[in-house]
Structure 1
Amino acid sequence: MDELASVDGVIGPAGAMTVPVTDEGLLRGDGVFEVARLYGGRPFAWDEHVERLERSAANLRLEFDLDAAQAEVAALLERAGAVDGTVRLLITRAGRRVVVLAPPPVVAPTITLGTVEYAPSRVLDAVKSLSYAANMHASRLAREAGAGEALLVTPDGLVLEGPTSAFFYVRGGRLHTPPLADHVLDSITRRHVLAVSGATERSLRRDELDALDEAFLASTTREVQPVAAIDARDLPAAPGPLTAAAADAFRRYVADRLAP
């Protein structure tokens, strides 16, 4: 699939589209965005992504034309046809509407994690903003240490999530994920994995990581990705039985939601 984009309704090759350099979405990362997975040209849980986009924009006091944005997403999807991949909608501080279609990401069968100390910004709670520099830097720090991705941990030892994904773990035969009260993102994929897997919310401390039996990351792009090791300690299984069951349940749930 060729990468296509729309900027304020004008469609063209993604690499050729532009926004003004004076837009504070570029200058300051001031804006909001959502990314949904495309299956045969149909975005999964798009209504939920749009609702969260509206909440994020309202929390940032960012006004934009939602109807125009929705129409531009629809036009771009119609142009692309029945493709698999991702659709990204972002709104800048200038109210500029940018939609980008991209091919499906390459996701390895398993991934290793390295803990990275991270202090979430409380003022951006419940906001999926363009300000992702800290998240991206956490990923770089983890890779420099030999891991495939970061696992964010607060300075006082509370385990949160990946830079762009929810974290699920198995301890004592039970599947859990850190609660929203711990200031993790209310991920769309996290919601659905919780619903279909029987997982429960439970806070996790850094000193408990050695006791985990299984773990996985969940996100729009990864779906369910088993974790093979954390801080160079191999987990007993990747995927373990509860991870495999969650991945299967999520795949079936997506197929059911998108069935004609």
Structure 2
Amino acid sequence: MDELASVNGTIGRAEEMTIPVTDEGLLRGDGVFEVARLYAGRPFAWDEHLARLLRSAANVRLEFDLGAARAEVDALLAKAGAVDGTIRLLITRGGRRVAVLAPLPERGESVTLGTVEYAPTRVLDAVKSLSYAANMLASRLAREAGADEALLVTPDGRVLEAPTSAFFYVRGGALHTPPLADHILDSITRRHVLALTGASERGLARDELTGLDEAFLASTTREVQPVSAIDGRALPAVPGPVTAAAAEALRRYIDERTAAS
């Protein structure tokens, strides 16, 4: 697919679009964003993403024109046609509305995780901000250690999430995910998986990772991706029956919603 972008309504090739270097979205990572997956040109759960964008912006005291942003995304999607990929919408402190179309990142059938110590920033709770340097560094550290992706764990040993994905795990046949009270992102895909599977929120200690039956990551771009190993320890089933059922339930739900839209 062509990587197109829109900056305050002007559409062009993503690599050629610009914003001023003085924009504090660039200088300080001061802004908010959302990413939705495109299925034949239709962004899945877009209203939910926009609602979270509004909450994030309000929490960092950033005003923007939602109507203009929505119209600019619609124009960009109309120009692109029925493509699969992602739509990313950024709102910067400098007042720019930036929408970017991109192909899906390449993913394997499963993913290996490496734990990386991470302390959530309380002041940014419930904010999907542009300040993602810590998340990206965690991913790089995990890859340096031989894993595909990081699994964030607090200094006192609470398992949280992956840098850009929710973490689900199976113990004793039951599906769980770390609670929002542990200062993880209120992921939209996480919400759907919880609703579709009946999974429960349950805190997980780092030393419990060796006793997991199954695990998976869930996100806009991954949907449900099985975890095959954590810190070099292979999980018993990849994908296990609970993971496979969650993946099927989410895929069926997405198909039904996109067909009806």
Same fold by TM-score, threshold 0.5 exceeded? yes
Secondary structure of the equivalent of 1:155? coil
Count matched residues.
260
The code of the aligned residue for 2:253 comes to Y
The code of the aligned residue for 2:22 comes to T
Secondary structure of the equivalent of 1:224? strand
Match of 2:167 in 1: 167
Match of 1:153 in 2: 153
Match of 1:182 in 2: 182
Query: Does residue 123 of the first structure (1) align with residue 126 of the second (2)?
Result: no
Match of 1:216 in 2: 216
Query: Does residue 17 of the first structure (1) align with residue 17 of the second (2)?
Result: yes
Q: CA deviation at 1:104?
A: 2.0
Q: CA deviation at 1:198?
A: 1.6
Q: CA deviation at 1:259?
A: 1.3
The code of the aligned residue for 1:58 comes to A
Q: CA deviation at 1:105?
A: 2.1
Q: CA deviation at 1:33?
A: 0.1
Question: Percentage identity across aligned positions?
Answer: 80
Gaps of 5+ in 2: none
Query: Does residue 112 of the first structure (1) align with residue 106 of the second (2)?
Result: no
Match of 2:3 in 1: 3
Query: Does residue 83 of the first structure (1) align with residue 91 of the second (2)?
Result: no
Match of 2:243 in 1: 243
Q: How many Å separate the matches in 2 of 1:103 and 1:140?
A: 21
TM-score (norm 1): 0.99
The code of the aligned residue for 1:162 comes to A
Deviation readout 1:87-131 (Å, 9 max, x if unpaired): 000000012000000112211100100000000000000000000
Gaps of 5+ in 1: none
Query: Does residue 35 of the first structure (1) align with residue 38 of the second (2)?
Result: no
The code of the aligned residue for 1:55 comes to R
Match of 2:194 in 1: 194
Q: How many Å separate the matches in 1 of 2:169 and 2:161?
A: 11
The code of the aligned residue for 1:250 comes to L
Deviation readout 1:123-153 (Å, 9 max, x if unpaired): 0000000000000000000000000000000
Secondary structure of the equivalent of 2:86? strand
Q: CA deviation at 1:157?
A: 0.2
Q: How many Å separate the matches in 1 of 2:154 and 2:177?
A: 16
Q: How many Å separate the matches in 1 of 2:146 and 2:76?
A: 39
- Counterparts of 1:61-80 in structure 2, within 5 Å, are 61-80=61-80
Q: How many Å separate the matches in 2 of 1:192 and 1:43?
A: 15
Deviation readout 1:153-182 (Å, 9 max, x if unpaired): 000000000000000000011000001111
Secondary structure of the equivalent of 1:143? helix
Match of 1:203 in 2: 203
Secondary structure of the equivalent of 1:62? coil
Q: How many Å separate the matches in 2 of 1:258 and 1:243?
A: 22
Q: How many Å separate the matches in 2 of 1:69 and 1:50?
A: 10
Secondary structure of the equivalent of 2:175? strand
